[in-house]
Structure 1
């Protein structure tokens, strides 16, 4: 990028938004002599416009002396950005030519205007009726202003994908999740048992493994909830973290559904299932006996 060329291009006026964007893009890629050779497609992507709009803007820049092109076969063209050769009068002349080509001179109206434009101030009204646009102020287009419509980009912009996290970033996230899990477990442990839980290398490993199995979001919540479990085995082991880790997925399900499975409820469920199985067997024997009697 040449700061010299860029500083000379920014103050230039009498250019449309499209033309100025293409000019600044070329200046950004030029050396101190104003020379660059980007592809049309590259300029289009940088300026968020179609290649056709880029070519139209470059034609205008060349016409007013801001750009010269050296066309090459099977290669990118070489461009020279020349802000010192900018001819403002040429930009105004080109605008006038385009206005005449559209059917009316800049700032004038008339019967030849296909859209029924209002007459210019002071002009006679159309025959057979009052002046169209009476009472409205009609301002002529400045002769040095060139308007080029901005065409939409042919290729929709695609949001850039987030770069994968580094090992250091992943480890930092794991460490933070472990701290939150231990803090939740320790706070709930103090409320339940009145003392701090023991923390050693084995406990640290259990906390890390718990985060791996339940995830960074749920591990702290399940660890704090676990101290409210009244299961006989967990209470007997004083809610040791190893008990939580051994049944991590089952405890997580109880936490998510709001149902605690105690020893009594488990025995009741098992007895209910046994009773249902015995009833099914009795019904099967009864149906078999009836079928034998009918035969």
Structure 2
């Protein structure tokens, strides 16, 4: 979670409840640069919304400058929360809703409701009503009630006597915390080894996420820091690129856990030792077979 991004998002005005909830959820999962990549379903669970409501809110946030999206195929999108680019004028314009005029006969220039629908505050006719107003059922409509098609209800309803549902435990938050720890450990060790900070971009972020998913939340940071001590020729020539670690992360994890590095020379020596042991075992087996045959005669 970035407290910097969060502190800039809370004071913003001109957003609906759903839009503000999605914005705060994204800010809660973003780093100090505002970058995050939660799934739509994850945001929906956190905010008690359906996927369609989340996407609608994101469209609005993007339109007013609070959000930018990098859409990726077969993976979670990358989002950047940008409270500094918020356009309050655009938010105010998009936030206006068309309202119907109150009860009474329409005045001069007034446009009647399409299809004969009653104006706000007037009685709604019941199906099958006769002439002269017979069969009318009076159903008062609040004059300020607005009904939209695309925007879902902003407040979840709960049965009488029951409190709101407990917050959903989000594994995505734990994953992002592990990703931050892994990157911090790798970047610190990288700077000590090479004297400069490593490059970080969307591809690197995806590599870090996969590394945490494959090695686990607790071991990934330790293996990432240990990786900078590897002296394999191709790894050193690539300046310990994170992609090399991801390619063989399970093997490197074993080397880290056992406290030994497997160089090319060491691997050849180990293969030769194993080959010699196998040859000796075969010779012993042959001798035992020959002795058995001699005893039989």
Pairwise TM-score range, normalised by the shorter structure: 0.3 to 0.5
> Under a length normalisation based on structure 1, what TM-score does the superposition of the two structures give?
0.40
> Under a length normalisation based on structure 2, what TM-score does the superposition of the two structures give?
0.40
**Bigger Rg over Cα:** 1
